[in-house]
Structure formats: structure tokens, C-alpha cells
């Protein structure tokens, strides 16, 4: 969310940014919010004047009432002053009510106006305009056919989607045996990988209040993703970023404690509204999965440095698992409204002979901090808004697809990368049961 003062002083820039995000339907919001802002400032100014005169008028009433005891002619003047005090009080109440209503309207609109994107972001309407920046590792296409990922899992007796469909419906799964163990090994390795980078491990709440949801994501994303607990002000998280950043709501953070670097585990719950392609069968796009996340809260001048460091951590982790990846810069139209800059890390799929998304790294500037009223107290005592960033460490359902395909052998076995073997009891290879 932008600062209303910034919009007031830079309306053309804000409109140009909306155009760059191909959201022209939001252009009228800028003029609308400026009109409401002018009304609100006028109401605030008048209310302040009334408050300033209130004490003087009250003193005058008291003085006149005292004089009226000796000079009855002063009584009329005192009554007129009392009437003025009452009229001012009534008007002040009206103005305060107006201020509350206008502030709510302004906030509602400001939540819809997208954040200012970084100048380095490529301009384009959708993800087809995302730009490949760099590749890491050599993509390999083996000389044997690679089955669909659920077929690979089934060969180890490792997945049951039919039973999950009966129990929970589409978009759920049972993982079993070695595949379930591999799933947990990936999460444990990712946890320890980030701890080794100096991040503090955290397990957050898996449900959050509505005001936290509003603080960490846009209304559009919320409607498309979040499951609400019926009858309660609670939502199931779509990623641990939500509750991790929500931890700082209404808090003043000492500058000396920055940067806050955290890595969190959680299950994630998503509606995943909309139609998806054939490659999103199986466990590619599902309603429930587990994830290791990384979160950074830092000084504004440090956020781009952390952005670059965070996506590089993803590359390092995937390469340690012998999985080729590439970095893809997200274009303007593919950025969620709160994001200043974002990139995807995509893993190589030998079966599809293309890359697919496994991590998403984002710099949100001060948008979440402003929405959540997070503040930092500097060494000089001044308050400012921190920047927040997040990135996927691993989300094993998709990670498993990449790991299984890239380590599959011609005989159907799957080699376990060396870094995962300690988490698999020393197992070096999975051998099909059928």
C-alpha cells in the first residue's frame, strides 16, 4: 500500500505505474482517492480549529457565569457562549464521524492501488513476458522415456490419490513409504540449509486473523487463495509468509535487531481457483502442501541486496540436489499488487523438456509494513517503515517432481542426492516395488 502523501504529490507517476501493470480499470481510483483525501484534510483542519477554540470558549462561559452573579446583564451573553460551545461540540462530533468514514473509504481504495514497481522490472501484461536471466546446471534429456511423476511415485508404492479423492476430494494426496520419507527429507534438509545460512528456524501459527490477511496480501489474491474458518475471524494460511510477517503487526522493531532473518515450516492451504493445464495433474497444483519459507525484514536501503541473496540461496539449494534451474524475472503484469520486484526459480523437467516454477522470491518494499503498522525505531529515535521480503526454500510436492525426474535411472530406480542421504537413513537409491 502506498502512502497517501506520495499519491497526493505524484498522481501522474502512480497512474503511469498502474498502466505499466496493465490495470487501466484502476486509473479512476487515483482521482477518486485524491478527492476523498482533500475532503478528509478539510474536515481534519476544521475539527482541529474547533478543538483549539473549545478551551477558550469554555473559559469564557465560566467567566461570564461568574460575572452574571454580580451583573445579571451578563447572563444572556453567557447563555449565548454556552450555545456556541454546544454547537461546536455537535459540529465536532459530525466532523469526527466524517473523518472516520472518509478514512475507511480512503484505505479501501489505497489497498487496491498497486505498489510502485522497481525500474528494473520488465514491462509486459502477463507471465508470457517474463524474462529468463540466467541458467544454472546443464539440462539433460535421457535416452529413455520418463513416466509422469505420479507413475514414478506409484512404482515405489508412494502415493494414493484415489483414496485421497474419496476422503477429501480432488487436489489432495496420500504419500507413503519411501516417497513420504523423501518428502520429509527434503524439508529437513531445507530447514538445516537455511539455519546454516544464519536464519532462525520458526514454526508459526497456521491460522491468522482477517486484519493480518489484509495486511500481507491483496484482496484479489485473498479471494483466490484463502480458506476461511466458518463463524470465526480465522483463515488458513496459504504460505507461512502470512503469519511470519503478521508477527510484527502493530510492533515497533529496534533498528539494532535488523535484519530479521527467519526460515519457517508450515502446511499451506490454497483454493487454487481457475482452470489449469494437463501438467498440473498429480501433485503439481494442489489444495494442501508443506513448505519451507525464508523471510527477511530489513532496512529499506538493504532490501535489494537481500533480494539478490535470497534467490541465490534457492539456486544453491537446488544445485546441491543436482537439479538444473534458471532464474526468471517476473514482468510488471505478473507482479502481485504489493510487490516491487519478483523472480521465479524454475527447475528443469526432463519429461516435459522445459522448466517449471519451484520458488518465488519477492521484494515487497514497505507495503506490508504500512498495512500492518510495522515500524522501526532508528538510533536517532525517528520511526520508519522496514522492507519485507520472502522466498520459497522448498515446496516438496513440486520439488519431488523435479528431484524424481532428474534422478530417475533407466531401470526405474531413483538416485538419492548425497546431501539427502543422511535424512534417508543412508539410503542411496530407491528401487521400484513393481
Residues 384-422 have pLDDT tens digits of 999 999 999 999 889 999 999 999 999 999 999 999 999
Q: Residue 422: phi, psi to the nearest 5? A: -65, -25
pLDDT at 48 over 90: no
Kindly give, in sequence order, each residue whose CB lies less than 8 Å from that of residue 280, ignoring residues fewer than 6 positions away.
none
d(CA 182, CA 425): 11
pLDDT at 277 over 60: no
Residue 63: predicted pLDDT:
62
Q: All 3 cell numbers of residue 418?
A: 548425497
d(CA 17, CA 37): 20
Residue 304: predicted pLDDT:
98
What pTM does this model have? 0.89
1, 255, 296 from 383: Cα distances, Å: 18, 10, 19
Longest CA span, the chain = 112
In which residue are the cell numbers 496459504 written? 238
Residue 278: predicted pLDDT:
43
DSSP letter (8 states) at residue 27: H
- Helix/strand number for the chain, H first, E second: 13, 18
Residues 175-184 have pLDDT tens digits of 999 999 999 9
* Domains in the chain: ranges and CATH: 4-110 (1.10.287.40), 127-430 (3.30.930.10)
pLDDT at 71 over 90: no
Confidence of residue 66 (pLDDT cuts 50, 70, 90): low
Confidence of residue 221 (pLDDT cuts 50, 70, 90): confident
Amino acid at each position: 500500500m502506498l502512502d497517501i502523501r506520495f499519491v497526493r504529490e505524484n498522481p501522474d507517476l502512480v497512474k503511469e505505474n498502474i498502466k505499466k501493470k496493465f490495470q487501466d480499470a484502476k486509473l479512476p481510483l487515483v482521482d477518486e482517492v485524491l478527492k476523498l483525501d482533500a475532503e478528509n484534510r478539510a474536515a481534519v483542519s476544521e475539527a482541529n480549529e474547533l478543538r483549539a477554540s473549545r478551551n477558550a470558549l469554555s473559559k469564557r462561559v465560566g467567566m461570564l457565569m461568574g460575572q452574571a452573579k454580580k451583573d445579571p446583564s451578563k447572563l444572556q451573553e453567557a447563555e449565548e457562549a454556552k450555545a456556541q460551545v454546544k454547537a461546536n461540540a455537535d459540529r465536532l462530533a459530525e466532523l469526527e464521524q466524517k473523518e472516520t468514514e472518509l478514512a475507511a473509504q480512503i484505505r479501501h481504495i489505497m489497498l487496491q492501488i498497486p505498489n510502485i514497481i522497481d525500474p528494473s522490472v520488465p514491462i509486459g501484461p502477463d507471465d508470457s513476458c517474463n524474462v529468463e536471466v540466467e541458467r544454472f546446471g546443464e539440462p539433460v534429456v535421457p535416452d529413455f522415456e520418463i513416466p509422469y511423476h505420479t507413475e514414478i511415485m506409484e512404482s515405489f508404492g508412494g502415493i494414493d490419490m484415489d483414496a485421497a479423492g474419496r476422503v477429501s476430494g480432488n487436489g489432495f494426496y496420500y504419500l507413503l513409504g519411501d516417497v513420504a520419507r523423501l518428502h520429509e527429507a527434503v524439508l529437513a534438509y531445507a530447514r538445516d540449509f537455511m539455519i546454516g545460512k544464519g536464519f532462525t528456524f520458526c514454526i508459526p501459527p497456521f491460522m491468522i486473523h482477517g486484519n493480518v490477511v489484509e495486511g500481507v496480501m491483496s484482496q484479489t489474491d485473498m479471494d483466490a487463495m484463502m480458506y476461511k474458518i466458518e463463524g470465526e475471524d480465522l483463515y488458513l494460511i496459504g504460505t507461512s509468509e502470512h503469519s511470519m510477517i503478521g508477527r510484527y503487526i502493530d510492533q515497533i522493531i529496534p533498528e539494532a535487531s535488523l535484519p530479521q532473518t527467519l526460515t519457517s515450516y508450515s502446511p499451506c492451504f490454497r483454493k487454487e481457483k481457475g482452470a489449469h493445464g494437463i501438467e498440473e495433474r498429480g501433485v503439481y497444483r494442489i489444495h494442501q502442501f508443506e513448505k519451507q519459507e525464508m523471510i527477511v525484514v530489513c532496512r529499506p536501503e538493504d532490501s535489494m541486496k537481500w533480494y539478490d541473496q535470497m534467490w541465490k540461496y534457492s539456486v544453491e539449494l537446488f544445485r546441491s540436489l543436482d537439479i538444473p534451474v534458471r532464474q526468471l524475472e517476473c514482468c510488471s503484469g505478473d507482479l502481485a499488487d504489493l510487490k516491487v520486484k519478483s523472480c521465479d526459480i524454475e527447475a528443469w523437467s526432463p519429461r516435459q523438456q522445459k522448466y517449471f516454477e519451484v520458488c518465488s522470491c519477492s521484494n515487497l518494499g514497505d507495503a506490508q509494513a504500512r498495512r500492518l503498522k510495522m515500524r522501526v525505531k532508528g538510533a536517532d529515535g525517528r520511526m520508519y517503515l522496514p522492507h519485507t521480503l520472502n522466498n520459497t526454500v522448498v515446496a516438496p510436492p513440486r520439488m519431488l517432481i523435479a528431484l524424481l525426474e532428474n534422478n530417475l535411472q533407466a531401470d526405474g530406480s531413483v538416485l538419492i542426492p548425497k546431501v539427502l542421504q543422511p535424512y534417508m537413513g543412508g539410503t542411496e537409491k530407491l528401487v521400484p516395488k513393481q
